[in-house]
A and B are shown apart, each in its own frame.
Chain A
Amino acid sequence: MRSHALALGLGAAAVLALGACNKDNNKSARGAPEAQTKKAQKVAGTKTIAAGIAPGSRFMTAAKTSGLDQTLAGPGPYTVFVPDDAAFNSAPPGTFDPKPENRAQMTGVLTSLILQGTVMTADIDKLIDRGKGKGMLATAGGGLLTATKDGGKIVLTDSGGHKATITQGDEQYTNGVVHHVDALLMPGKPASGPAVGQKKAK
């Protein structure tokens, strides 16, 4: 095994030298592959959540970095709480920088905004009524959001006590529904990033 590794290493050095001669060619020849097969795309429909959310929004930028844009183009169905762009400013600095080492953290945050199935605001209202003022929603990230009402609006609270109000609900897509919220919900324990020895960006 070790001699095999050494041989690979020597081979790689040759490749490395070739690569060094061609420094300008450091862009990927291809982008992200389609995660959804043709059949999955057909089931998802033509007006998906991924296609419907503004591509330049901070939510979608983060979704692309963590690969969740492809998820939201799939059959689902999903219920997604999309924070306004301004809400992302409340996150610790650097949380949503689109760098590879931030992917894990972003994945943890974004999946705390996604539910499985199609949950309309009327469904959350009924849940709250049935629970005599509050109801629990399980997120794709494995956490729970507490739903309550305040001034006739639905308020979501995460395990860390962060609150977000649904400002515009029930935006329907062929693979689920989007509710716009005014604040960011964060997982109770931030996921640790994979970077080791990573120096600050120049």
Chain B
Amino acid sequence: MKGFAGERANGKAARFANREAVQNWNPASYRTLAYADNIQVLPVPQVEQFVGVPVAQVANFAALSPLPATIQYLYPDTSDYYYRYGDGYLYQVDRGTSLIDALIPLMAGGFLPGQYLPNSYMNSYVPAYYGFNSFYPDYGNVCNRYYQGVVYQVDCDDGYVENVIPMYAGGYGVGQILPSAYSYYNVPVQYRSLYYDTPDYGYWYSPGAIYQYDTRSSMITSVAALLSPGFTIGRPLPMGYDVYNVPYDYRATYYDTPNAWYRYSNGYIYQVDPVTQLVTAIVASLLT
């Protein structure tokens, strides 16, 4: 993460500059971005100006509120500071000074909404691994680009970052918010009888994991299941998946022979040709 706000927050001069900027702040010059369900995100060039400013002053411009009780455990207050959140960020407030002394974006990634992806990254496409490239296709004037474990949805013309979707191993997880336009129920069919929406919590799939999220805040509360890239019939086993990994209860039935291997992935047991290493069939569904 680049220290955007940190650079501004370092030193009293920067803090005073931020206070002055907020006093003269003109919200009309910023685009407001939409995230998940009913979540708006303020562009980071705007929000970074809030660091070092009294929380009461910032509350005039940002939708600051205490975390919902159901998710306060994710960001516990301490005797030195407490948290407020809103508009896609968590604000750490110093109890002694009542100044906002840190900003935690609820989206991981090196670039944040409201910034511009460097032009050189516009040719950095989403990888095929885990099927990410088909899960995040370009559409309309929205381009999906990838850099160091994070998918950036940007304006195709100017690289304006509209959405940040870190991949699971890139640090996406608990305490962050769902990306926009992906908060509909999309759990893979074999997991739907296990992970279904309730009035309080929803489940959302992104390649690599099924997440549980708080429906009020769209904040991720847990990783319900870890998934693999999955196998495709007629295609070779992905690298690293040729070790025998069938669950105990199925080993007596599905054991490797010179003519057939069996491998587990995402709720299914697949048959594999040992010679060609091609996946030939699904032979068992374990969850349905």
Contacts and interface: CB of A to CB of B under 8 A. Distances in A.
Contacts of A29: 69-70, 72
Contacts of B56: 13, 16
Interface residues of A, number: 82
B218 to A, nearest CB: 15
B245 A79 contact: yes
Contacts of B44: 196
A33 B244 contact: no
A191 B77 CA distance: 25
Nearest to A197: B5
B162 interface: no
Contact of B247 (A12, A77, A193): A77
Contact of B61 (A9, A70, A71, A127): A9
Contacts of A119: 243-245
Contacts of A138: 228, 238-241
B152 interface: no
A132 interface: no
Given A103-B175, A126-B244, A33 B65 contact: no
Given A1-B40, A13-B59, A117 B169 contact: no
A43 B264 contact: no
A186 B87 CA distance: 33
B226 A32 contact: no
Contacts, number: 281
Contact of A2 (B4, B32, B64, B101): B32
Nearest to B47: A196
A136 to B, nearest CB: 4
Given A5-B27, A138-B239, A189-B149, A28 B73 contact: yes
Contacts of B238: 138
B84 interface: yes
Interface in B179-205: 193-196, 200-201
A176 B247 CA distance: 7
A71 B225 contact: yes
Interface stretch (A52-60, A82-90, A141-149): A141-149
A33 B66 contact: no
Contacts of A114: 226
Q: What 6 A-B pairs are tightest by C-beta distance, nearest first?
A: A117-B245, A138-B240, A104-B171, A28-B72, A67-B174, A197-B5
Interface of B: 1-6, 8-9, 27-28, 32, 40, 44, 48, 51, 55-56, 59-66, 69-77, 80, 82, 84, 86-87, 90, 92, 95, 101-110, 129-130, 148-149, 166-176, 193-196, 200-201, 208, 212, 214, 220-228, 238-248, 263-266, 287
